[in-house]
Copies of this chain bind each other. A is one copy, B any other.
Amino acid sequence: MFLSKYFLPIVKDTPKDAQIISHRLMLRSGMIKQDSAGIYSWLPLGQRVLKKISSIIVNEQNNAGAHEILMPTIQSAELWRESGRYDDYGLEMLRIKDRHDRDILYGPTNEEMITDIFRSHIKSYRGLPLNLYHIQWKFRDEIRPRFGVMRGREFLMKDAYSFDLDQNSSFTSYNKMFISYLKIFKKLGLTALPMEADTGPIGGDKSHEFIILADTGESKVFCDRKWLNLSVDIDNINYEKDLEQNVSLFTSLYAATDEKHDPTKIDPSNLIETRGIEVGHIFHFGTKYSESMGAKVTLPDGSLSPVFMGSYGIGVSRLVGAIIESSHDDAGIIWPETVAPFDLCIVNLAVGNELCDEMSLSVYNFLKGRNKEILYDDTKESAGSKLAKMDLIGIPFQIIIGPRLAKDNKYEIKNRSNGEKHTVDFNNLINLVNL
């Protein structure tokens, strides 16, 4: 991508109403634009990050045996009356009348709709177990939306729903999602701590929040210091075995949010206090919705049994903010490589200088041929402004091309994360960026 043709509207002044660092950095780097309270447009740079995160989640949920579907944003109020939640949900539910004066709503979550899909199609125990998920926009009419995409009104959520024959197999499905979440957050470059949680309006008997550590996080977190050096090979946990053992390993280590913290449960010498951000929440609620909505399957003996269910959410748009909260410095964002909007950028410090233009273009074309995503700054801004912009938007590697080094056919390559710079020739460069 040539920056001169790209839409990257960098905002120079720090936005006044943005209280937290991720909100400020997302506005400054032209990732989002606020359209109205708690509602944002994702500009090209932001949209790229959102897509990368979604794609990591999709891959890992598929690996865990879940099937992707796509439910609509608008739901009928009838379904919510069946479960009894229509009146319970309160003002956060965006209630709408259509042209025929029917009650509809913008889905804040999908337990009712997925239960309806299930009961319409699956009639026998042979259709179990089943896990269906989608990534779709939700709406919660927060009274005071704030913190940018961290607490917006329209937000992108991945929500999965498991269906099982009995409590035991339902716990196995829960454990698969538990492990899948650890894998996902690790791939996103995050350290996520699962913590026992309240079930709230979703209901149920068992629930964990996944909290990522970030100094600027919204809530206080207490945990065992062993968390920081935990060396479990999460990537290699097999979904078909060892699940309970692995889940136990994680749930046995102390970790709690402020509200749940109980100092008697941990040796003070092992306790550390830090801050965190909730990015996922999983629930086991058994037959709560299947009973009220009649989602039953026939058993081998001919009798009918309500299915056991769980639901599993990840805040996809919120994660963009959360990743920035956990990975930035004074100069701007530091993207983990897996979610960076571009793999590399090329900064041509002397556009118009024949040698610099030629070297820039040749490295651009070479890397494009290797399927790297590259942002090439071919604009005529000052060197200082160009380098500051690339630090701000946080692309993992900067290839800097200026007249002095160009004469010797050398490039400077900078690692955004640790700040290290190396002067290299073309072959070294290629080796470095392929790491």
CB distance from A74 to the nearest CB of B (A): 5
CB distance from A139 to the nearest CB of B (A): 7
Report whether A130 and B7 are in contact in the complex, using a CB–CB cutoff of 8 Å.
yes
Report whether B99 and A70 are in contact in the complex, using a CB–CB cutoff of 8 Å.
no
CB distance from A70 to the nearest CB of B (A): 4
Segment of A36-44, A270-278, A322-330, A353-361 in the binding face: A36-44
Taking a contact as CB atoms closer than 8 A, the residue among B33, B69, B76 that contacts A117 in the complex is: B33
CB distance from A75 to the nearest CB of B (A): 7
Residues in B whose Cβ lies below 8 Å from that of A104:
36
A94 to B100, CA, bound (A): 11
Residues in B whose Cβ lies below 8 Å from that of A47:
68-70, 134
| A230 interface hit (Cβ, 8 Å) | no
| A240 interface hit (Cβ, 8 Å) | no
A75 to B33, CA, bound (A): 13
Could you tell me which residues of chain A, from 373 to 424, have a CB within 8 Å of some CB in chain B?
A: none
| A67 interface hit (Cβ, 8 Å) | yes
Report whether A40 and B72 are in contact in the complex, using a CB–CB cutoff of 8 Å.
yes
Chain A positions 37 through 75: 1 when the CB is less than 8 Å from some CB of chain B, otherwise 0: 001111110110010000000000000010111111111
Q: What is the chain B residue whose CB lies nearest that of A78?
A: B36
A69 to B96, CA, bound (A): 27
A43 to B71, CA, bound (A): 8
| A141 interface hit (Cβ, 8 Å) | yes
| A331 interface hit (Cβ, 8 Å) | no
Q: Say how many copies of this protein the assembly contains.
A: 2
Report whether A74 and B106 are in contact in the complex, using a CB–CB cutoff of 8 Å.
yes
Residues in B whose Cβ lies below 8 Å from that of A237:
none
A96 to B105, CA, bound (A): 10
Report whether B94 and A96 are in contact in the complex, using a CB–CB cutoff of 8 Å.
yes
Report whether A33 and B72 are in contact in the complex, using a CB–CB cutoff of 8 Å.
no
Q: What is the chain B residue whose CB lies nearest that of A1?
A: B67
Report whether B96 and A96 are in contact in the complex, using a CB–CB cutoff of 8 Å.
yes
Report whether A70 and B41 are in contact in the complex, using a CB–CB cutoff of 8 Å.
yes
A74 to B145, CA, bound (A): 15
Report whether B99 and A41 are in contact in the complex, using a CB–CB cutoff of 8 Å.
no
CB distance from A65 to the nearest CB of B (A): 7
Residues in B whose Cβ lies below 8 Å from that of A89:
none
| A113 interface hit (Cβ, 8 Å) | yes
Residues in B whose Cβ lies below 8 Å from that of A141:
98-99
Report whether B7 and A67 are in contact in the complex, using a CB–CB cutoff of 8 Å.
yes
| A204 interface hit (Cβ, 8 Å) | no
Report whether B69 and A41 are in contact in the complex, using a CB–CB cutoff of 8 Å.
yes
Residues in B whose Cβ lies below 8 Å from that of A121:
7, 9, 30, 33
Taking a contact as CB atoms closer than 8 A, the residue among B50, B67, B70, B96 that contacts A50 in the complex is: B70
Residues in B whose Cβ lies below 8 Å from that of A36:
74-76, 78, 104
Report whether A72 and B5 are in contact in the complex, using a CB–CB cutoff of 8 Å.
no
Report whether A74 and B33 are in contact in the complex, using a CB–CB cutoff of 8 Å.
no
Report whether A74 and B120 are in contact in the complex, using a CB–CB cutoff of 8 Å.
no
A75 to B153, CA, bound (A): 12
Report whether A137 and B35 are in contact in the complex, using a CB–CB cutoff of 8 Å.
no
Residues in B whose Cβ lies below 8 Å from that of A65:
5
Which 8 residue pairs of A and B lie closest in terms of their CB atoms, listed nearest first? A9-B121, A42-B70, A36-B76, A44-B67, A41-B71, A91-B99, A99-B141, A72-B154
Q: What are 25 A-B pairs with beta-carbon distances under 8 A?
A: A7-B69, A7-B130, A7-B132, A9-B121, A33-B120, A33-B121, A35-B72, A36-B74, A36-B75, A36-B78, A36-B104, A39-B72, A41-B72, A42-B70, A42-B71, A43-B69, A44-B67, A46-B70, A73-B154, A74-B139, A92-B99, A94-B98, A96-B96, A98-B141, A137-B137
Q: Told that A36-B104, A40-B72 touch, could you supply 11 new A-B pairs with CB distance under 8 A?
A: A7-B130, A7-B132, A33-B120, A35-B76, A41-B69, A41-B70, A43-B69, A74-B94, A98-B141, A106-B106, A137-B137
Instruction: Enumerate chain A interface residues (CB-CB to B < 8 A).
Output: 5-7, 9, 30, 33, 35-36, 39-44, 46-47, 50, 65, 67-76, 78, 91-92, 94, 96, 98-99, 104, 106, 113, 116-117, 120-122, 130, 132, 134, 137, 139, 141, 143, 153-154
